[in-house]
Chains A and B, each alone.
Chain A
Amino acid sequence: MVDAGITWKNLLTLALAVGASALVIARAPADDDAVFPMPAGKTYVNECGSCHTAFAPGLLPARSWRKMMAELSNHFGEDASLEEPHRLAIQKDLENLAADSPSSNMRMRRIHGAIAANAAPQRISETGYFRYMHDEVPAHIWKRKKIGTPGNCIACHTRANEGRYGEREVRIPPQ
Chain B
Amino acid sequence: MKRLLPLLALLASLPARAETPQQILDGLVAQSGAASAARGEQFFRAKSAEGKTAESCATCHTDNPKAAGQHVKTHKTIDPIAPVAQKDRFTDPAKVEKWFKRNCNEVLSRACTAQEKADFVAYMISVK
Chain A residues engaging chain B, CB cutoff 8 angstroms: 51-53, 76-80, 145-149, 151-152, 154-155
B105 located at the interface, meaning its Cβ lies under 8 Å from any Cβ of chain A in the complex? yes
> Across the interface, which residues of B come within 8 angstroms of A148, CB to CB?
70, 74-75
| B106 to A, closest residue via Cβ | A78
Q: Which of A52, A77, A78, A80 contacts B76 (CB 8 A)?
A: A52
Task: Give complex CA distance A53, B74 in Å.
Answer: 9
Chain B residues engaging chain A, CB cutoff 8 angstroms: 52-53, 70-71, 73-77, 102, 105-106
Q: State the main secondary structure of chain B at its contact with A.
A: loop
Contacting pair A152 B102 (CB below 8 A)? no
Contacting pair A52 B71 (CB below 8 A)? yes
Task: Give complex CA distance A77, B102 in Å.
Answer: 12
> Across the interface, which residues of A come within 8 angstroms of B52, CB to CB?
77-78
Task: Give complex CA distance A76, B52 in Å.
Answer: 11
> Across the interface, which residues of A come within 8 angstroms of B106, CB to CB?
78-79
A52-B102 in contact given A77-B52, A78-B53 (Cβ < 8 Å): no
| A81 to B, closest residue via Cβ | B102
| A152 to B, closest residue via Cβ | B75
Interface pairs (29), CB distance under 8 Å = A51-B71, A51-B76, A52-B71, A52-B76, A53-B76, A76-B73, A77-B52, A77-B73, A78-B52, A78-B73, A78-B106, A79-B102, A79-B105, A80-B102, A145-B75, A146-B75, A146-B77, A147-B75, A148-B70, A148-B74, A148-B75, A149-B73, A149-B75, A151-B74, A152-B74, A152-B75, A152-B76, A154-B76, A155-B75
Task: Give complex CA distance A51, B73 in Å.
Answer: 9
| A80 to B, closest residue via Cβ | B102
Task: Give complex CA distance A98, B105 in Å.
Answer: 31
Task: Give complex CA distance A96, B70 in Å.
Answer: 31
Task: Give complex CA distance A51, B52 in Å.
Answer: 15
Q: Tell me the smallest distance from the CB of A48 to a CB of chain B, in Å.
A: 11
